[in-house]
Structure 1
């Protein structure tokens, strides 16, 4: 799916398969990862990978935090993606990105 979207997306080194593949190889087995996709007429036009991390806020509120193309671990995320976003097709990119975020929220 990544390659399908990348063929029609605006080139971005941080969302290229070599970058994402290297990042995925660094993920620990205990990380829960989720892939979200958007399709139009059965064709994948958007994709993103989230890592879920369990966090404690203010010392006692437990919650889940999702990170787009990041781990949530400051040591692993020292080299982070600039202008991080979903990989989306160049055509209708704003609408695709908006729809993907709306679906998540």
Structure 2
């Protein structure tokens, strides 16, 4: 939920800077990415539960790795959207050190 809240905050930032128009698709793409991550996690939980019901033991190490990977993916997505929004807001500022060269 926190990531979705941050997306709304980024949207508000772009609105405040009059930069949202023409960049709605950037935020939408990240929302779709989060939808996919959520769906993947939900599917994993359901599969793990089914295996548990069938009597299979879950590998705690593998589960830990899965959670770490999902956390890393969410953090990476957050960093990318944060940097992209910052590049959009600071476009034209000659003192800004861009994160990504092709942010328009």
Q: Answer yes or no: same fold by TM over 0.5.
A: no
> Greater helix percent: which structure?
2
TM-score tier (shorter): 0.3 to 0.5
> Greater strand percent: which structure?
1
Asked which structure has the greater CA Rg, the reply is: 2
